[in-house]
Amino acid sequence: MSVPSAIAVGTEVALLKNLHLSDGRRAQLAIREGRLGSGPAPAGGFVLDCAEYLALPAFIDTHMHLDKALIRSQLADHDGTLPSAIAASHERKRLYTEDDVRKRAAEVIRSHVRHGTTRIRSHVDVDTIGGLVPLAGVMQAAQDCRHLAEVRTIAFPQEGILSDPGTARLMRSALEMGCDLVGGMPHWERTPEDQLEHVKFCFDLAQEFDRDLDLHVDETDDGAVRTLEMVADEALARGWQGRVTAGHVCSLSAADVEYVRRVIDKCRQARMTIVSNPVTNLMIQGRADRGLVRRGITRIRELREAGVNLCFGQDCVQDGFYPFGRGDMLEVALISAHAAQLGTSQELDFALQAVGENAARTWRLDAYGIEEGARADLVLYAASSWQEALTLQLRPEIVLFEGRVVATNHLLSALA
Ligand SMILES: [Zn+2]
């Protein structure tokens, strides 16, 4: 497959012709004010011939931690469990400065963009160790990179709320600073009563500021930990349908079938999104197991069958929890496909949706994809199909954000 000559980053594209979409359709779309539309190109505008490419909507990473990325090499080695990863990060978190967080976060945003992701939703630690320094740093990085990608922030009480007195006040301050969503981590509290109080606090805050919620839920192998049901119950009781996301949800795989059926039905009724983060949880969960080691992946199959919205997230890039990662949603999709045993063409289509249109639903975007009205965020691959791009782990040749070329990648390979 030959690829047209290089296009300069910064080029404003006016017309995309000969688009080859993943479902086999061909299309031609104009770009006006960063959005896709019909009709001819604006006079004198740049025409990009996409005939040799596969065009996909740019990816969405809806579960990331930008504030703690790229600190792995500075942390002491630990046993790999979630409590150890949290503890190992404390010392480094005390040393955070806004500029330190800003630089690391911006580097990871740029890496996401190079790999075709133009929307990132990042949890940011809010606790009495780092205070609001992580949030200030990530918000500055988002501003630095606003010409490359859209970043939304989630106030995340990594150390708990009741178990870290002072965090409740900081969570409120985080929202006043402009944090987009309310986060949470109820399973980190000491008792089920405290867990429920944590959940209710998060919903109170979300209602007061009219924000969506995205909580870390049941990131443990212990099937008796059941904050997912508390979250679903609150979403239903408060009319927050379609506005609540639960991340990780590992313990659901270890829970009994009766609970699983009940809680999945509540998630469906509440129109919740479940974000599975297999790249991290394959590393963290099941550490105490010998022989058959649990995978830490939530019940993807049952959730899908029930019609619950599902996404895959990167979660971590080279931090205390996960030593790898580069903001590459194609890598996330491939690892997730292994973990969740997705292999049929329908299942592989789902893997694409889980880093794209399902996340767009979570973000409550009016339009997403390669269609009129959607923001002109696209990736162009030198591949003939999504499965080929996924299998070969290609980098996109061209990445567009708001109709402008923001990244190009060209692989040169020779074989005699
Ligand atoms: Zn996370």
Nearest Cα neighbor of 343 from 391, 280, 274, 281 is: 391
Half-sphere exposure of 300 (CA within 13 A, CB side): 20
Helix (H) or strand (E) holding 155: strand 150-156
pLDDT of amino acid 43: 83
Q: Calculate how far, in angstroms, residue 43's C-alpha sits from the geometric centre of ligand 1.
A: 46
| From 189, 219, 234, 402, active-site residue | 219
Q: Calculate how far, in angstroms, residue 75's C-alpha sits from the geometric centre of ligand 1.
A: 18
Give the environment of ion ligand 1: residues with CB less than 5 A.
315
Q: Calculate how far, in angstroms, residue 224's C-alpha sits from the geometric centre of ligand 1.
A: 21
pLDDT tens digits, one per residue of 184-205: 999 999 999 999 999 999 999 9
Helix, strand, coil proportions of the chain in percent (round to 5)? Answer: 35, 20, 40
pLDDT of amino acid 5: 56
- Whether residue 129 contacts residue 412, with contact meaning beta carbons closer than 8 Å, is answered with no
Active site residue 219: yes
Matching residue, tokens 């990473």: 61
pLDDT tens digits, one per residue of 266-277: 999 999 999 999
Q: Calculate how far, in angstroms, residue 209's C-alpha sits from the geometric centre of ligand 1.
A: 23
- For the chain, list the domains and their CATH numbers: 13-57+368-408 (2.30.40.10), 59-341 (3.20.20.140)
- Whether residue 300 contacts residue 340, with contact meaning beta carbons closer than 8 Å, is answered with yes
pLDDT of amino acid 172: 98
Q: Calculate how far, in angstroms, residue 118's C-alpha sits from the geometric centre of ligand 1.
A: 19
Task: Name residues of the chain where pLDDT drops below 70.
Answer: 1-5
Helix residue spans in 210-328 (DSSP H)? 227-237, 257-269, 278-284, 300-306
Q: Calculate how far, in angstroms, residue 185's C-alpha sits from the geometric centre of ligand 1.
A: 10
What CA–CA distance (Å, rounded) separates 231 from 281? 21
Nearest Cα neighbor of 229 from 160, 188, 209, 237 is: 237
Tell me the residue ranges of DSSP E strands in 197-343. Answer: 213-217, 244-248, 273-276, 309-312
